[in-house]
Structure 1
Amino acid sequence: MPGIFPARLLFTLAALSPVVVHAKDTWITPAEASSFRTTPSYAETVAYLRRLADAAPGTLRMETFGTTPEGRPMTVMIAAKDGDLTPAKAHAAGKPVILVQAGIHPGEIEGKDAGLMLLRDIAVTGRLPHLLDHAVLVYIPVYSVDGHENSGPYFRINQNGPEKMGFRGQSQYLNLNRDYVKADAPETRAWLTLWNTWRPDLLVDIHTTDGADYQPDLTWYAEDPHKLPPSIAAWQGHAFAGDAIPRFEKMGHIASPYLEFRDGRDITKGIENFGSGPRFSTGYAAIRNRAGLLIETHMLKPYAVRVRGSYDVVRSVLETVDEDPAALLKASKEADAWAASLSAGPEASVPVTFKKDPSPKPFTLKGFAFTQTKSDISGDIWVRYDTSQKKTYEIQSWNDLLPDVSAPLPAAWAIPPQWTVVIDRLDAHGIPYTRLATATRVKVVRDELTQPTWADKPFEGHHMLRDVAIAPTREDMTLPAGTVIVRADNTDAVLALNLLDARAPDSLLRWGYLDAIFEAKEYGEPRVLEALARKMMAEDPSLKTAFEAKVKSDPAFAANARARLMFFFERSPWYTAQKVGAYPVVRLNAATLQTLPPSL
């Protein structure tokens, strides 16, 4: 049954819990006071954090870093020794910055209650002061504050407590963990400003699973090495699988890499990569040249176990950093240098999509026995787990990825000034650029986009561009005064490419911000197009042959009078002059970049 948990592990966790607390204890957290039946409101959470900050002014600082759509302040806690409570002091002291965030999905709120306990034990009770010896902790207790306050008992049907939990979307019904690149939400804009202010070395994002039942109380995910700067891939391999997770398990937990089952009805068919990308937290950290760790406590374990799991895994990560802070700083520095050097190659490119490695690896799953019954309700398979019967399964893992589509990395991108929606996103992400002071005629590479198809249903408020044919073309182009020039010889090169290139799955084009380029604004009357078609066929017999072949082979086309006429119109200068599908973000090579006039 949901909620049943191995007695040995519960006993171990109780023994290893941060402190034995009683209602009369001064620093008991609201969740502890309720024996983890409930989680505090945002006001109660902020009040507790304020008490902590007041009790340890040299170690803790509480700040507001944004305002939600419903007008609530977004709170962040800074924890550091020696007064290193500002970005300047932290970086001057040579301390890595660890950004830990909770409540981006407010129903998955363990990280908030674990964070209150951890800050208390670091700064007030003195139980774990060493965690800040060589690092600075930037902690967001609740990222989606409006979603947190939209609380009730019926939002997470798959989850075992607390009694009430927040809603997955924020107040504009946006999922903030799909918003990192497109940055629609005010919360995301605030977070990006916080990121650019602190430039953290590691992001830890705390969630709760959905899906199957199994023994581990926590699963974790780090981006595939092919998505990362080499130095970050190497550091993560050692720090997570090699150190922090084994340390976490020695505290009495059972951990596993992220478990995305290929078939939820039959866990023995193996696991695969869930397909993270820049829209997600760790995917975004990757294109910012930084390490990232996704934590997923298991939904069916008691809330007390999930909170303590969050507490212990963050503690383990901080202890890993504390043991060798220079290694993380070195990885970040080398990652920035790597990104800045990518465009120096004559044929520079960066992978933007990834495919599953076809060669699986053996994987041991600590699970439970399960049954499969044909359902007379759904007509599908009904899966039920028996948590009284532990069972180990030897299965296959397709978690590893390989690069798929790569995007060209130019010396610079040029964005005409009228495309303010693109420039606005550059500003949100803090991507540096200059502007041309005068109009300039230059040689560029422009992508011509044809055959666009869009998703049938909206996703995060957008009908995404699902597919498009991309053909690079070289042309002479006049860049108007005010054109934005984004150079690629800096640390934000991979970030800019994922925002600006048509091939990138989370680019602004793919999210639908430039759909207008696919719309012809001038059109022809049918009687005029009839005459045009006859003239074009008379002048080009091969066109007549192609048209007749399409009429024969495509019944839908043959039955559509407008489509038959558009066959000719779209091949005429009357249509091509409109530059339908001409992508407005163009690429400049190094030679062209050097010829540009002074910038604003």
Structure 2
Amino acid sequence: MTATLSARLLLALACVWPLAARCSEAWITPAEASGFRTTPSYGDTVDWLRRLAAAAPDRLRVETFGTSPEGRPMIVVIAARDGDLTPARARAAAKPIVLLQAGIHPGEIEGKDAGLMLLRDFAVTGRLPHLLDHAVLVFIPVYSVDGHENTGPYFRINQNGPQTMGFRGQSQYLNLNRDYVKADAPETRAWLGLWNTWRPDLLVDIHTTNGADYPYDLTWYAEDPHKLPPSIAAWQKAAYAGDVMPRYERMGHLASPYLEFRDGRDITKGIENFGSGPRFSTGYAAIRNRAGLLIETHMLKPYAVRVHGTYDVVRSVMAHVNADPAALLRASREADAWAASRVGNDVPVTFRQDPTPVTVTLKGYAFTQTPSEISGDLWVRYDPTVTKDYRIPSWANLLPDASAPVPAAWAIPPQWTVVIDRLDAHGIRYTRTAAAARVTVARDVLTHPKWAEKPFEGHHMLKDVDIATAREEVTLPAGTVIVRGDTAEAILALNLLDAHAPDSLLRWGYLDAIFEPKEYGEPRVVEALARKMLAADPSLKAAFEAKLKSDATFAASPRARLAFFFERSPWYTAQKVGDDPVLRLDARALDSLPLH
């Protein structure tokens, strides 16, 4: 008998009645041991999980998938029956893969402590023996490990426990739940590697909300159907509202779709969509053609209530997946096929509020609004002893707004390494040209850029720009990267590369250099140039005089007046200021390329 088998037999014997109570005590989690007053350190969390995995090696595996900026290992726990603890084994067994993550905002940490309890009850105590009959769970107990260890009592003023909480940003002061597309943080790069290794079918992201007070234990959010492949939209609708949340409420809880109030001072004015996009977890899952679910426990509920609520909602999610694993796998396959079929179609990349609200019932508390001599605004106070149902308008539904075309391929010249680096980080497949090639391409020409005044996540974002498309003949150098549009990564590539996409590399400021002319004219030289241009073009003269009359700021600026002429001259246009380096190819151009 091997040592491992002996250890497992002893553990099994130790858990047989009447010693079952002692077994449960042996696997009490640190949060349970404290009565949910505290949450364990990262080191204690990892130690506990490694001990648990050692007790059930056929059901649990602890792996390191990255290193934080401060040098801490980023761990993930794989949980499954029958030893299906690798991506290959999971796929061979036709088991959907669920990625459950906690602590992307480490002050919102109930997902970690609920996850420890779930793994224990699946692997060793026998309380949840069927949790993973037909699925594999990939569990990140703490995503932002440096933020988790930057702990203190004063980080979440809105929240009721635990005694100390982690910090919202990681050690480089980045919010990881805004970093999915731009992938600045080492943690995001590690996470993307994990995603590309496992290719999960469902992402569940655990948070704690801020906002109003109400009776709900948690609220939940799924991306609007217009943002999703049709098969994923259909699966999510049937899963969440149709099964997961009703089952969760039958467990004794109260849940609501996410509540983003239009006016935090007056909940009766209604709710709206909070505007998730690819920079967020569920928004990123959407552009990877996968289902996503955001869980927000309620900040003012005691920590024990929030942990147990998370435990139960994950149980409910897994029950739905287990009941029909083929449905989720089929939705993923169909979503990939849908994404690969979009060549020649425009795909929405921005969304607007549906102007027609629907009426919903909000289970809330009575509240008062008192004029405040401190803020000069209204001071809102809720009375949790008085429950009240409100009929309120909801503008949570979205409609497509700006769209972008999916070409036969995108071409990125090899010098644009910042773009190619992000393709690599996201696992987007590409080939390269083996030799220089002359082809006709579509290029976006970008004018009148406007940047945000304040930094956001380390960037001054490009807020607005005029986009015009031009067709031109160019020479693509050898080594040009070619990303095909007929693959499962097409929607991801579109959101990363297209100028219309709000989380594209262009919008995050990685291509700002294209807006900077490098050659300029001395004022005395441009003075002479302007006179020649005015003499040669009466329409230019009329436009100049009209602008002098209509724009006092322009008229008062010698620099702007000279720029008016220089920027309309070949001396400026030859610099190709505002030419997007990301090019679009049609099928004929793609077929003509010499590719490796």
How high is the TM-score relative to the length of structure 1?
A: 0.95
Cα displacement (A) at 1:199: 0.3
2:391 is aligned, of 373, 394, 413, to: 394
Q: What is the distance in 1 between the residues matched to 2:23 and 2:317?
A: 30
Counterpart position of 1:16:
none
Counterpart position of 2:16:
none
Whichever residue aligns with residue 442 of structure 2, its letter is V
Q: Do 1:21 and 1:28's aligned partners in 2 also have CA atoms closer than 8 Å? A: no
Cα displacement (A) at 1:25: 1.0
Cα displacement (A) at 1:592: 1.0
Q: What is the distance in 2 between the residues matched to 1:497 and 1:394?
A: 40
Q: Do 1:23 and 1:33's aligned partners in 2 also have CA atoms closer than 8 Å? A: no
The question of 1:356 aligning with 2:353 is answered yes
Q: What is the distance in 1 between the residues matched to 2:123 and 2:397?
A: 40
2:437 is aligned, of 427, 436, 440, to: 440
Q: Do 2:23 and 2:125's aligned partners in 1 also have CA atoms closer than 8 Å? A: no
Could you list the runs of 4 or more consecutive aligned residues of structure 1 that deviate by over 6 angstroms after TM superposition? 20-24
Q: How does 1:139-178 map to 2 (within 5 A)?
A: 139-178=139-178
Cα displacement (A) at 1:269: 0.2
Q: What is the distance in 1 between the residues matched to 2:278 and 2:320?
A: 26
Counterpart position of 1:373:
370
Aligned to 2:275, the other structure's residue is in SS state coil
Whichever residue aligns with residue 53 of structure 1, its letter is A
The question of 1:119 aligning with 2:119 is answered yes
Aligned to 1:181, the other structure's residue is in SS state coil
Counterpart position of 1:581:
578
Counterpart position of 1:238:
238
The question of 1:64 aligning with 2:75 is answered no
Whichever residue aligns with residue 330 of structure 2, its letter is K
Q: Do 1:108 and 1:207's aligned partners in 2 also have CA atoms closer than 8 Å? A: yes
Structure 2 unaligned regions, length at least 5 = 1-19
Q: After superposition, give the CA deviation of every residue in 1:217-269 in whole Å (9 maximum; x if it has no partner).
A: 10000000000000000000001100010000001100000000000000000
Cα displacement (A) at 1:23: 12
> Alignment length, in residue pairs?
577
Q: What is the distance in 2 between the residues matched to 1:136 and 1:285?
A: 18
Q: What is the distance in 2 between the residues matched to 1:309 and 1:547?
A: 66
Counterpart position of 2:464:
467
Q: How does 1:395-434 map to 2 (within 5 A)?
A: 395-434=392-431
Counterpart position of 1:9:
none
Cα displacement (A) at 1:21: 8.3
Q: After superposition, give the CA deviation of every residue in 1:344-383 in whole Å (9 maximum; x if it has no partner).
A: x4xx111000001111111100100000011101101110
Q: What is the distance in 2 between the residues matched to 1:261 and 1:124?
A: 43
Cα displacement (A) at 1:131: 1.3
Q: After superposition, give the CA deviation of every residue in 1:22-59 in whole Å (9 maximum; x if it has no partner).
A: 99910100000000000000011001101110000000
Root-mean-square deviation over aligned CA pairs? 1.0
Cα displacement (A) at 1:124: 0.8
Whichever residue aligns with residue 147 of structure 1, its letter is G
Whichever residue aligns with residue 200 of structure 2, its letter is P
Whichever residue aligns with residue 235 of structure 1, its letter is W
Q: How does 1:215-294 map to 2 (within 5 A)?
A: 215-294=215-294
Whichever residue aligns with residue 578 of structure 1, its letter is Q
Q: What is the distance in 2 between the residues matched to 1:362 and 1:122?
A: 41
Q: After superposition, give the CA deviation of every residue in 1:39-92 in whole Å (9 maximum; x if it has no partner).
A: 000011001101110000000000000000000000100001111100001001
Aligned to 2:580, the other structure's residue is in SS state coil
Counterpart position of 1:85:
85
Q: After superposition, give the CA deviation of every residue in 1:292-345 in whole Å (9 maximum; x if it has no partner).
A: 0000000000000000010000000000001000000000010001001111x4
The question of 1:212 aligning with 2:209 is answered no
Structure 1 unaligned regions, length at least 5 = 1-19
Q: Do 1:206 and 1:294's aligned partners in 2 also have CA atoms closer than 8 Å? A: yes
Counterpart position of 1:295:
295
Closer, same or farther: CA 412–24 of 1 in aligned 2, 3 Å: closer
Q: Do 1:22 and 1:33's aligned partners in 2 also have CA atoms closer than 8 Å? A: no
Whichever residue aligns with residue 558 of structure 1, its letter is A
Closer, same or farther: CA 266–296 of 1 in aligned 2, 3 Å: same
Q: Do 1:441 and 1:477's aligned partners in 2 also have CA atoms closer than 8 Å? A: yes
Aligned to 1:586, the other structure's residue is in SS state strand
The question of 1:541 aligning with 2:538 is answered yes
Cα displacement (A) at 1:126: 1.0
Closer, same or farther: CA 80–504 of 1 in aligned 2, 3 Å: same
How high is the TM-score relative to the length of structure 2?
A: 0.96
Q: What is the distance in 1 between the residues matched to 2:103 and 2:332?
A: 26
Aligned to 1:54, the other structure's residue is in SS state helix
Q: What is the distance in 2 between the residues matched to 1:129 and 1:62?
A: 20
Q: What is the distance in 2 between the residues matched to 1:127 and 1:326?
A: 25
